[in-house]
Structure 1
């Protein structure tokens, strides 16, 4: 066996892991951009700027496609370096769960662009409720991105950020399950949209669980 195969040292392992963490942070930042664009779409709907809303939906889909490309690149890189550093399975789980979150947001976008746009605009209160959900999801994703950045900088705020995430997640779950999902179904008879909102909530919960597993593994 050649010496090159055995030449990995601690700094090289750290570099591979840091590259993955930076990639996760970048994907999460793009996901935040996606949620912010959806909030702008909902602003357009409230103001009866339907054509502008349609244009922003196309912009949001382009952001999603860019996120999907970044996810694929992360998979490819992780496959190449996974045997060179610990915790690679935890990073794979994080990439998988980020992908699920993005896919669930994409499903909501597609529904908004097809059958739901005209129905949604008829109920401003419901639009504001959906907007609040994406505001909460945006805050949640920003906190995850900050966690990855803190991991790179070796900040001592990781536990604090996880506590914030837990509170964010509880807020989202309560908001969806105690009102929004039912309101979507009863007001719009929008079973698909209601289901997708619930799926998004479940996906961000899985993302939190994957992050907790990584955090515990690295501390043990």
Structure 2
């Protein structure tokens, strides 16, 4: 391998900040990126600063990110270390994209491909099965969209209380990539009044029926 690649086991905010500091990331950038959660983080050493910026843009386009140093942001210095963050799926997509790219990215694509293959062999397949739907947690993270059908929701102030608005919001949630929609019929906002079981059912059933009829997506309530 031309590049040294190592998987980082980042579990806490403090661990993330420590690793970001090691590669010379800016304090402001570190505070933003440390709150993002990704299944895998790969530290790659000796990257061309121009290549580092290409990697960052490509991973952002795939829902991931790349932590870079101050020098690579300024396109100065000869080499830089980066931390590629994302899912196995997004990293594999990145590999295909950079195979013909300059600044050493072609060689990096081969090294990443070999590393991801070995990483897959060393990790047990983690599956989540819900109502006959399977999620491979090694490659992707299920996204849950929250849809509150309440007049006093803490988050959206009851904007989706009416069925038509709730259904339009469900369509948006699906388009944004959610695999599960959680429909809430009773607010948990401090000070909110409880509702009867019958009223809660009356609020959520029409919306659940609409979602189930129109989209191949899991619904919880």
TM-score, structure 2 normalization: 0.27
Q: Would you tell me which structure has more strand in proportion to its own residues?
A: 2
Tell which has more relative contact order, 1 or 2 (C-alpha 8 A, sep 6+): 1
**Higher CA-based Rg:** 2
TM-score, structure 1 normalization: 0.27
